[in-house]
Amino acid sequence: MLIPAKLLRRGRDGRRGGTAAGLVAGAILLAASGAQAQGMSNEMCLNCHKLPLQMKLKDGSSVSLLIPAAGFARSAHGRALLCTACHTDIKKVPHEKMEFADRRDLSLHYSRSCTSCHGGKFKEFQEGIHWRLLSQGDRRAPHCADCHGAHTVTRGGMAKGFTPQACSKCHARVFGQYEGSVHGQGLIQVGNKDVPGCSTCHPSHTGGDPRKVEFRIDIPKLCADCHQNKALMDKYGLSSQVVSTYLEDFHGTSISLYREQRNLPARLTAVCTDCHGVHEILRVKDPDSQVVRGNLIQTCRKCHPDASLNFPATWLSHYTPSATRYPFVYFIRLFYFIFVPAIVACMVFHVGLDFIFEARSRLRRPRKG
């Protein structure tokens, strides 16, 4: 493994560290031990690393060793940790020559340092797809510094609006789709924090493989986090019933049944993203939207290749039938809502009358002998 689990330090209670108190204690211990062992201050390091130094790598390339002093001072680590808390292999100044195969080898080497203070987050990271790829030897998979940065780590994690840009380093094609979507335009162009960013659907540390059926079956739940929030939907004039109406139709009912099964099928029935798109979701009235009336038949034919032009008309479009919208369906439903209970009531009344008549007849019948 690239970042061995044994590097996680345990507290006195035997659990892996991850609380705020554990983080502060870890930072203090690291800073104190660094100061005592090496006697090296951050200013001592920056005296050299404020210069345009270069490190030659084995593959022939070079990496800059210039550290932005102002950015580092403003970072979450700048005033809390010594440089040697992360660069534990630096013992003296001038320090010994270090050799790395390439830039990625250097980055992966120092990514282990994060586990000393952030054991809890690292444990979460081990549950996600990025760790799974790293542990399988895929050096392209991101680690801590790829998303959070190395010397300019911000406090309290990354700002929501910055997350898509961080993800775009590896997922450029997907970012291009998201940037033009209704969500991307709201977050990136307008800065609206109400709309979902990458980590809303793909948790930063524990994100699973979106290609797996286990991820697909949870997509309605992901969308429901926002689209069932009535206060949020009312703010933008959107319906908060889209998920409930989906779960009432054939597709949603099938998903609910699949969720109860242990052996999921390889191909599920349609979920939200099959109709609306994944990262390229547009407003439903946008002429290029997959669910606008002119394009809807093509969307249906992805699963129903023989669908006729009238096929989409059988769908109620996430609306609850009313006297003004889909009145035929509404009045048929209203008729049966009244008719069925009335029939049951009549049957109970009829049986009750018959029982009373039979009881009275037996009571009036003269006794023999």
**Which parts of 39-86 fold into alpha helices (H)?**
42-49, 69-74, 83-86
Looking up tokens 């060793």 gives 65
Looking up tokens 């987050």 gives 121
pTM: 0.72
Q: Return per-residue pLDDT of the chain as tens, 369 residues.
A: 344 333 333 333 334 344 444 444 444 444 444 444 446 889 999 999 999 999 999 999 999 999 998 999 988 898 889 999 999 888 888 888 889 999 999 999 998 899 889 999 999 999 999 999 999 999 999 999 898 888 988 776 556 667 888 899 999 999 999 999 999 999 998 989 899 999 999 988 998 899 888 899 999 999 999 999 999 999 999 999 999 999 888 898 888 888 887 677 777 789 999 999 999 999 999 999 999 988 999 999 999 999 999 898 877 788 788 888 778 888 998 999 999 999 999 999 999 999 999 888 888 877 665
Burial of 222 (0-12, 13-18, 19+ CB in 10 A): middle
Domain layout of the chain by residue ranges: 1-162, 164-197, 208-320, 323-369
CA 162 to mean position of chain CA atoms? 15
The dihedral sign for the CA sequence 301, 303, 305, 308: negative
Compute CA distances 52 → 55, 69, 145, whole Å.
10, 12, 21
Q: Residue 205: name the closest of 299, 267, 141, 248 by CA.
A: 141
Alpha-carbon gap, residue 144 to 147, rounded angstroms: 6
Alpha-carbon gap, residue 364 to 358, rounded angstroms: 10
Alpha-carbon gap, residue 155 to 123, rounded angstroms: 20
Q: Residue 71: name the closest of 60, 59, 63, 79 by CA.
A: 79
- Provide the 8-state DSSP code for 189: I
**Residue type for position 296:** L
- Provide the 8-state DSSP code for 17: P
